[in-house]
Structure 1
Amino acid sequence: MRVLVAGATGVVGQPLVGALRERGHRVSALVREGSRERAPEADEVVVADALDREALSAAVAAARPEVVVHQLTALRLLRDDPAGAFAQTARLRTEGTAHLVEAARAAGARRLVAQSIAFAAAPAGGPVLDEDAPLYTDAPDPGWAATVRAVAELERLVLGAQDLAGVVLRYGTLYGAGTAYARTGGTAQRVRAGRFPLPEGGAGVTSFLHVDDAVAAAVPAVESHVTGVFHVTDDEPAPAAQWLPHYARTLGGPPPRTVPADLAPRLLGWFTAHQLTTARGAANDRARTVLGWKPSRPTWRDGLGAE
């Protein structure tokens, strides 16, 4: 098939181009002008900014894809400009997705596979939730509320696109090369320096996912005929009280110091405090049974912080 990967220089997009080519697909890599030199080896490279409607339409038309894969984020900016990274990513999930849906339909594509996140659920119900749980669009933190509303809009646009079969892959918290949890990543540096404390209880649940498994889930999503929303996570949702000390040991850092839970937002920021205290994990049963995918790394214990 002819496949266009939008966001082809990203931590998932880059290896995905290679994985799809190995499966015999003809792959076009969509990149921004400023990222052209980092484009992966592809059958062709097309250049456009997803926020430029006309340029994107022309680039997608030139690629003539049957399937479009949406891996667009601006999270590359996280280390230098966290607020800017989240704001730009929200625009890519709303305006960029709308432009990509329009361009895909105009180019005759029949299928759209989009990246989302598995940690946007409202903190209600059990410790591990399925895809039907409501999203945290009314989070008390304005930044996170805006992020989740953008995620909800992306999913609405993808699943409601006329003449396009839509698939949403909600990835867990990514670890592995190129992520914040890699040994050289920003989170790892904070943990090694003892600047990532554990709020009392550490009851927030995180569902992790290795980058390789994110890529491996996108391949059947491209090739199958199923539609809908899927949590793509490992098999062991873990409370912070388990994974954070393990991660610190793996990195060779000090044990995380314990702090009162009510101080966590001030010390860590609202989102990280939420992750460590109240967040819910994500069940991957639907991806296993409907998409036919399972993680090659079923537990974060086998690799978190090791690369």
Structure 2
Amino acid sequence: MRVLVAGATGVVGHPLVGALRARGHQVSALVREESRARAPEADAVVVADALDHEALSAAVSDVRPEVVVHQMSALRLLRDDPPGAFALTARLRTEGTANLVAAARAAGARRLVAQSIAFAAAPTGDPVLDEDAPLYVDAPDPGWASTVRAVAELESQVLSASPELSGLVLRYGTLYGPGTAYARTGGTAQRVLGGKFPLPEGGAGITSFLHVEDAVGAAVAAVESEAIGAFHITDDEPAPAADWLPHFADALGAPPPRTIPAAMAPRLLGWFMAHQLTTAAGASNARAGTELGWKPLRPSWRHGLGEE
């Protein structure tokens, strides 16, 4: 098939291009001008900004994809400009998705696969949730509420694009592996190594992890599948912070995280991370197994988290 990967220089997008080509697909990589030098080896490289409707439409039309894969974000900017990274990612999830849907339809694509996140659900009291759980669009933190609303809009646009353009959303878990914040050189790992990532008392928040290789594998499965809808793409072991954070520190060779009162966590860690460590729910991947036919090759974060 002719496949276009938008966001082809990202942590998932870059290896996805190679994985799809290895499966025999003709793959075009869509990149921004300033990222052209980091483009993966592809059958074609097309250049456009997803926020430029006309340029994006022309670029997509040039390669006439049958399937378009949306892996776009601006999270590469997190270390230097966290507010800017989240704001631009929100625009890519809203304006960028609208432009990509329109371009895909105009080019005659029949399928759209888009990345989302598996940790945007509202905490309902259940420790692990499926895809039907409501998203946390009314989170008390304005920044996180804005992020989740952008995620909800992306998913709505993809899943209701048109009868001719079938949509599938991959809700990735918290990514670990090369190029992520949880890699040994990543931002989260560096905070743990520096003793700057404490564990709120109880550590009851649940995280569902996902290795980058499994994110790529799920995207390949989605391209080749006829399934539609939203799917949690996570490993098989949702884990409370009280389990994974000490393990992560030990794997890194860092000191054990110090314990702090849960009430101090938002001030020391920020609202979102405090939420993840204290109240967040995990995500069940059962639907991806039954309807998408995907299972993680790394079923547990215990084998790899902090080791790469």
| TM-score, L = length of structure 2 | 0.99
CA distance in 2, matches of 1:111, 1:283: 25
The residue correspondences of 1:1-307 to structure 2 (distance < 5 A) are 1-162=1-162, 163-307=164-308
CA distance in 2, matches of 1:183, 1:220: 28
For 2:3, what is the secondary structure of its paired residue?
Answer: strand
CA distance in 2, matches of 1:237, 1:268: 21
In the alignment, residue 237 of structure 2 is paired with which amino acid? Answer: E
CA distance in 2, matches of 1:251, 1:124: 33
In the alignment, residue 124 of structure 1 is paired with which amino acid? Answer: T
CA distance in 2, matches of 1:187, 1:125: 27
- Post-superposition Cα deviations, 1:12-35, rounded to whole Å, max 9, x if no partner, equal 000000000000000000000000
For 2:171, what is the secondary structure of its paired residue?
Answer: strand
In the alignment, residue 21 of structure 1 is paired with which amino acid? Answer: R
In the alignment, residue 40 of structure 1 is paired with which amino acid? Answer: P
In the alignment, residue 53 of structure 1 is paired with which amino acid? Answer: H
RMSD (Å), alpha carbons: 0.4
- Post-superposition Cα deviations, 1:125-151, rounded to whole Å, max 9, x if no partner, equal 310000000000000000000000000
CA distance in 2, matches of 1:180, 1:79: 9
CA distance in 2, matches of 1:126, 1:152: 21
In the alignment, residue 198 of structure 1 is paired with which amino acid? Answer: L
CA distance in 2, matches of 1:176, 1:49: 27
CA distance in 2, matches of 1:63, 1:305: 39
CA distance in 1, matches of 2:123, 2:258: 25
- Post-superposition Cα deviations, 1:34-65, rounded to whole Å, max 9, x if no partner, equal 00000000000000000000000000000100
CA distance in 1, matches of 2:30, 2:194: 38
CA distance in 1, matches of 2:278, 2:124: 13
CA distance in 1, matches of 2:131, 2:80: 32
Q: Give the total of aligned pairs.
A: 307
For 1:147, what is the secondary structure of its paired residue?
Answer: helix
- CA positional deviation for 1:215: 0.2
CA distance in 2, matches of 1:275, 1:80: 22
CA distance in 2, matches of 1:63, 1:204: 44
In the alignment, residue 247 of structure 1 is paired with which amino acid? Answer: F
For 2:51, what is the secondary structure of its paired residue?
Answer: coil
- Post-superposition Cα deviations, 1:259-283, rounded to whole Å, max 9, x if no partner, equal 0101100000000000000000000
In the alignment, residue 123 of structure 1 is paired with which amino acid? Answer: P
CA distance in 1, matches of 2:215, 2:181: 15
- Post-superposition Cα deviations, 1:202-225, rounded to whole Å, max 9, x if no partner, equal 000000000000000001100111
Structure 1: state its 5+ residue gaps.
Answer: none
CA distance in 1, matches of 2:143, 2:165: 31
CA distance in 2, matches of 1:286, 1:44: 34
CA distance in 1, matches of 2:86, 2:124: 24
- Post-superposition Cα deviations, 1:43-100, rounded to whole Å, max 9, x if no partner, equal 0000000000000000000010000000000000000001100000000000000000
For 1:167, what is the secondary structure of its paired residue?
Answer: strand
In the alignment, residue 237 of structure 1 is paired with which amino acid? Answer: P
- Deviation above 2 Å: which 4+ runs of structure 1? none
CA distance in 1, matches of 2:12, 2:249: 25
CA distance in 1, matches of 2:172, 2:165: 21
In the alignment, residue 11 of structure 1 is paired with which amino acid? Answer: V
CA distance in 2, matches of 1:226, 1:144: 30
For 2:232, what is the secondary structure of its paired residue?
Answer: strand
